[in-house]
Amino acid sequence: MAISEESRHHLYQRLEQVLGPREATVMVEHLPPVGWADVATKRDLDALEIRVDMRFDRVDERFTEIDRRLDTLDVQMRSGFAEVNRRFDETFREFRSLLVAVMSVMAVLFAAMAGAIVAAIKI
């Protein structure tokens, strides 16, 4: 038989007559707020603990896999950065040698123009 609020109240009134209000309150407060079928047992809690532990184990496995992937990504990024740095250094060296060549040509042209100006003035 399920305990209803009405039957709970009748029990409280009868306990109050027999034991007194204070003791009746203590007794009724020890009853579950719902039927006994809805109260969890130690076995229920043990089964829940096993399920929760299994779930956390799966979460731990996923984090381990994520850590592994991040480590792989880190290695790839470091390798990529090293390649970018290598290419940058190579490009900078090529640019510097090109700049020296352009400056040399400009110096020769400047000298030629200066010579042409001097020659034109002498004429």
Q: What is the pLDDT of residues 33-56, one digit of tens each?
A: 766 667 788 999 999 999 999 999
So what's the pLDDT on residue 11?
86
Q: Answer with the residue of higher pLDDT: 107 or 122.
A: 107
* Confidence at residue 5, expressed as pLDDT on a 0 to 100 scale: 78
- pTM for the full model? 0.46
Q: Which domain holds residue 21?
A: 1-39
Query: 47 and 59: one domain?
Result: yes
Considering the domain architecture, whether residues 11 and 29 belong to the same structural domain is answered as yes
Residue identified by tokens 């896999």 is: 65
Number of domains in the chain: 2
pLDDT at 34: 67
Given a contact cutoff of 8 angstroms between Cβ atoms, the answer to whether 26 and 18 are in contact is: no
pLDDT at 99: 96
